[in-house]
Each structure stands twice: as C-alpha cells, then as structure tokens.
Chains A and B, each alone.
Chain A
Amino acid sequence: MDKFFKKNFSIITLIFIPIIFLWHPNWLGIFGIQPYWPLFWLLPWAMIHGSSSGIIFGLFLGLILDALTLDSNFSQIPGLILCGFIFGRIKLNRDLLVGHFRYGLICSFGSFLCGTLYFLQILFHNFSDSTYLLFFPSFYNILAEVFLTGLFAPLICSQLFRVFQYSRK
C-alpha cells in the first residue's frame, strides 16, 4: 500500500487541483483573481514525462475543470493541451536558481496562453456590437492571472517537481 502511494503520488496530487479550483482561496489572490492552478501541476509533470504525457494530462485536467465550471460554451481544454505540449519540450536546468526563475516565467507564459485562448472563445461566442466592452475586463483578468501564476510558480512547481521525480525513481 505504502509502495503504491509512493509510486503514484504524482497522480494522487492531481485530485487536489480541482479541489483548490473549487475552494478558490481569496487570501491567495488579488481582487478576487486567482493564479491558474492546473499549470502548477502540469509543468513539472510534462517536464518529467514529456510532451505526449503533457498533452494527455492537459486533456484530463481540462475535462475535470470544464465539468466544474458553468460556462458550457467555453473550454479550458485547448489551452491546457497546448501548455502540456509546450511544457514537455522544455529541458531541465541544472542551476537551481535559474530553474526556479524559469518556472515562474514558463507558468506565466502558459497562463497567458490559456487566458488568451479562453478569451478568444468568449469573443467569438459573444461577437456583436458590444464586443468591445469585453476587452478591458478580459485584459485585466489575463494580466492579473499571469502575474499571480508567475509569482507562485517557483514555490509550488519546484516542490512538486521534487515530489514527482522522487515518485518516478
């Protein structure tokens, strides 16, 4: 049993992503906006297991998170699949400090990608004369999310990275 948990610990931690997504701790956000939680898990996972695994688990995460959100017309799957693919192509860096900094940058970029893809879906779906009204709040949402994701990524990703590597060994 213990061996099973050690071996599959990385998969078990996946369950907590939707829980945090639902919990939405306000004290960790700015003006009600939260970091984009699934990327913190997807980045170390895809870096260790490669692009194909990143794509599969990007799809899995997207399926779960789409089920939890009410916007049935928009999906988080495209953004997460793309991030899973890109994250899988990134090589590990031996320098600890550079590695930490990179997690922040990569996650910020991933968050920007996911945010933009989600916004484009909203834009296409609500295309009308009043579309211009959506631009400012969406831009603000994307920027805040990118900032927060980049801020927390070095802390969370490096810990998860170590855990995933340990469980893989």
Chain B
Amino acid sequence: MMKFGWMIFFLVGSAAYSQQSGGTITGVITSSDDASPLVGATVIIQNTTLGTSSDANGKFVLKNIPEGKYDVVASMVGFHRKVVERVEVKSNEETSLLIQLVLSPIQTDVVVVTSNKREQILEEVPVSMSIVNAQLLESRSTIAVDDALRYVPGVNVTQSQVNIRGSTGYSRGVGSRVLLLIDGLPLLAGDTGEPIFESVPVFQIDRIEVVKGAGSALYGTSALGGVINVLTKEVPEHPETRWRLYSKVYDAPPYERWKWSDKLRALNAQYISHSERIGDVSFILAGSRLFDDSYREADWTRRYNGYGKIKYDMSPFLSLAVSSNVLWQHRGDYIWWKDLKNALRPADSQLNFSVTSLRINSSVLFKHFVNEKFTYEVKAIHYHGNWREDSLNVTLANESTSDVVSMEVQANYSLDELNIMTMGVAVNSDNVSSDIFGTHGGYGGAVYVQDELQLSKRLMATLGARLDYQQVASLPSNQQINPKLGLRYQADDQTSFRASVGRGFRAPSIAELFVSTNVTTSTVAIVPSPELKAEHSWSFEIGGTENFDENAVWDVALFQSDFSDLIEAGVEFDSTRNSPVIRFRNVTQARIQGCESNIRTVFFDQLLSLDLNYTYTWPYDVNKRSVLRFRPRHVASVNTVVSYKEYTFGADMRYISRIDAIDDDLVRLAPIIDGKLRVPIYIADVRASGLFHEFGFPLKINLHVNNLFRYSYVELIGNLAPLRSFVLSVEGVF
C-alpha cells in the first residue's frame, strides 16, 4: 500500500500544475415553476474538480477559476438537469448566472458513472441500470446496503447475498457473481470473495448504481451477473454536522410457540458525521454504533464503524482524495433454526458461538482533468479483513486474515464529440492466512479499452474488451478476454432502445480453492478443490424506454445469460476416506432467461408517485435439467409515496414467488430440521416522515412499520426472516 501511496504522490508532483488567481462564477438557482430559490442544488463546472451546492437563498459561488470558457451544470432531485454552455470566465472578474431548473416529475437525466467508467446521463447508457439515490435511502432510514437493494428491479436479496437477474442464488457467503464497488474500487473479501456490506459506511452514501448483466469487460472478475457501485458523498461547501438516532423494536412473534424471550428486543444505532472545507482541503469524519438484540436467539450484533475522507483540491483540475473506513463487529453465529416449532432459536450446536471481525478499507483517488478532451485518474484500495469464530465451550481454530490491494490507472479521451475512448490498467494482489483456507497469495493484472461511438444522430455504439491475468498460489495461471458491445438508439424524444452483449467471468475465491475442514456444520468434511476453473457467462439484453409526457416512464428489458463452469459445493463419495465429502466443483451449465418491467408514474400534480416493478426469470440448470437453486421466478414490487408539503407517506410492497429449488444436500446432511419449508413472500412496509424547522435546524422524523402484516417466511433454509418491527429514526443537520 505504501508503494501505491508514493506513486500517487509522484504523479501529483509531476502533474503540470500552477496555481492561478482566476475569476469567479456566482449565481442563483431557482425553480421555473414559481421562481423560488432552490436549496441544495448541485453546481459543477465540467471537466474540473470544481463544484458546490446552493445555499438557503439558492445562491452559489465558485472561486479561483482559471480564465476560459466552461460548461456549468446544475442539477437537483425532482428537476431536469441544466447545462449552461461556454460560460466565459476572466481573471479577477465575476460572472453571474441565473439558472432556472424545470420541474421533472420523474427524473430521467440522472448522471451515472458505473456503466462506462465515466460520467454520463442514464439515458445514454446501453445497458439496464438502476439508481438508489440518497433521498430514497433517507426516506427508508436505510441502515444496511443490502436492504436498500431489495426494491431495485431485477435484484433479489437472499439473507445478505445479492442476486442480479438470477445470477448468484445463494452460496453461504463464498464467492459472489455480483461485484461490489465503493467509489469505483472493488470491495470483496480476500478470503471468501464475498461482499461484506457492513464495510460500507451507510451514512455516507450518496447513491448506489446497479448495472445489470456481465460487466467484466470493464471490471474484471466477479462482475458476472452485474456490478453494484456505492458512491460516497462529496464534502459540501459549508461546514455540516449530520446525525441520526435510529431505534427499532421487534414485535412479539405471531405464534406463542415461537416466543423465546420475555424481554423487549430492539436495535439501536447512532450515526454522526462532520464535514468541513478549509481552503483547498475538505474532510468528512464520521462514526456509528449499532447494537442489535435481534428477534432471534443468539443472533445479536455489536458494531462500531469509523469513517474519514480528506480531499485536497490542488487546482481546479487536480484533486487527491484519501478515505478510510474501519468496521469492528462482534455477533452471534446464528446459522439456522432448531426446527419449525423453535423457528427463532438456533440449533443447539450453534448456541454458544460468536464471530468477531475487523475490516478496514482505505483508498486513494487522484484525478486530473488535463484538458477538455483528456482526463485520467489513479486509484487504489487496500482491504484488510480479519474474522475469528469463538465458542464458550470448546477451543476453536477458526480465524482468517486477508489483505487485498487493487490499483488502477484509468484515462478517458474524447477524440471528438462523437468518439470517446476509455482505457486503463489494473493490478491486484491478495494474501490470505487462515486456519481453514490455508496461507495463500495471488496476484493479477488487466488492461482494458472501450470506445463509445456516435454512429449517427440517433445511434450510439459501445465496443470494448478487457484482458485479465490471474495467478493464485502455484496453481496454473488464468487468462481471460472479455469483450462487450452495446447499442443505444434514440428513436425520438420519448422513445429509446438498447441492446448489449457481454462476457463475464469469476475466478474462484481462495476459500473455494483451498477450504479444508473436518469440523463443519455436520459430520461431513469439506475438502480442497485446487483444480477449479473460472466461471464464465455471456449476457444478452434488449430493452427500451418510453417516456409518456412528464408523468410516466416505462422501461422494459428481455435478457438471457448463459453460464458455464458454475462453481457449486456438492457431495461426493471419497474412496480414501470411505465417506461422503463436500467439494467445490465446476459442475453447472446454466441458462437464465427473463424479462423486467419498471413503470414509474406520478399523479395528482406530483402528490402521489407510484413505481411498479416486475421481474420474471427462468433459471435453468442445463446439466441437471432442473431449476437452479435459490432463484425465485417472479419478483414484483409496488412502491408508492404521497408527498404533501414537508410530509411524506410511503408504502412498499414486495412479492417473491416460492423458491423452486434449494440445497437439499445441506438440508439432508446438516441436518436442518424442517429445512425444506418455504412459502411465497408477501411483504408490506409503511412509513411516514416529516421535516420540521421549529428547532432552529432541519429535523427529520421518520416512522416505519416493517412487515406490517406479520408475514412469516424464509429467504434462506431454516432462517425465519424478520418479523414485524417498528422504527423511529430522527435525523438532524447543523
């Protein structure tokens, strides 16, 4: 990591840079509806690091801008984005702007960065994408990233494992066919290869972008089914202290038979963050604490989280940001229930187990806007993970430490307005020292290039490929070439079509390759599988978007993914041990076909908004001629919000069809009593929130009732999902 740090500073030092005493852009942002000033609108100068937000009077100031002509972009949730082109700035002079934003009941011109590794409007992207913005996270008082993804079309969450369009299923935390990124950098555990969502500072999220379909042509391994990119907040211009008090009370179980505790079960969490800018340096410091009693026995959690980010704007065109997140967590090791009659108690063998983990991710991002045409960035992340399983009764040797370092240099070059190149070089290393995975190391490198071509006024094509090289321990090396092609056709102002094809891959994790244990959840040993190959996929998609005036948008997509060499844990007979063993194998050839529909509408002059999402997937195991495990065929949700002045009322409803197939081997061998039991899922959550100004600062109070109808269901074998709970969340900003 130190080496990468020096490299960054070398680049900073060598970058052509001279401090200039430039001009100033000032302005006011108002609503075109009633000319009222807009508070908190974002203003950025394109191709620079300069940006700010409007104050309580809608005013903004941007200083020290070198002479020249710039495009100024203003945006705000609920309004169309506006670009003021070629604003002239002169030294020691002030340029004033009056920017009126037009109301957009359903915002479609959102800026995204994940699809093509550069900022662009969502409407220009040739693949299916969904955005979870900060407003949505706040309105649901989100305290877990995986919970925030439950309402994203095409995404299904099994326990904490995220599944995009049927790609992942559930593998009990080993390997992921969805790549988790934080600010564009990979965040998968070095040993198990799984996303640890607790490692994401949830109170600092600006938005989450979800790209559906194979993304390995830009992102490499694990982006087999899609990419989830968590983007953290930028530091605002003015000092800001935000805090949130969150309290959840679990309702009593719906059946007396399930009652196991007389105490009130609750989850309490506190979050605080302070951000400030001092000259060219800005920073965020944040901390949180979460204590969860849980609704289940031996499922408690104690979690502390610290986050810091510091950004140095060396010039309007150069910035360096360093951030770090530290997570410490101690939790009960609840794996599955005792039986259906004791659905909230763990199996007796799990009662006295706990897991302690420490995870630290630190990243560096250096960004340089060389000129209007050329931008490059250097970024690196170090992800340290350590977890240890403990027991009150027996001495366990079950600890694992991993360190992953990823570094990338990426450049974007506009040959002209019709031709944009994105290219980069990435390297990574992974070291694991573990009682059950052994001591192993690996490294890899990749180069990628992509060209976005405006073929005609209406047709845009994206063509790219990435070459990956991976070496794990002394195993044979692994090379991959993953191409992609995307097309976007804008039929008219209201209708667009898209089509894409891409190849994805996932290299097996160190856990899958080397896990070796005789002490498992059953009497069956797990044995190493060093012969495992990488998984592959080809994803195809066609889709279209139709804007119906300003009041409705319908997006629909048909997709197909063909997976080969999927890795699955299976039971086989080991003749040397003369007993069955569990081993990871490349066994499955799968085809997943489906369709996705998302309708967003507003009614009654924006008083009521309604989202209707439906995803159908047919996940078929070509080898076994059966349905793939842990994939629902139908997922539907209805999200409705009523907004009146500063008050909001919302209801979210979800339907997930009964899972066709589960891991019968696990149920049989563990054994998990009543483990095969599962039902369709119907969940309704309701919420109300109000923004109050009577206390001298904005205070937001949220009330939620989750699982309103006390519906009892399992997402995962032998795991009863959360029962009804009541949430009070209070948030303030100074």
A and B form one complex: no
Chain A residues in contact with chain B, CB under 8 A? none
Chain B residues in contact with chain A, CB under 8 A? none
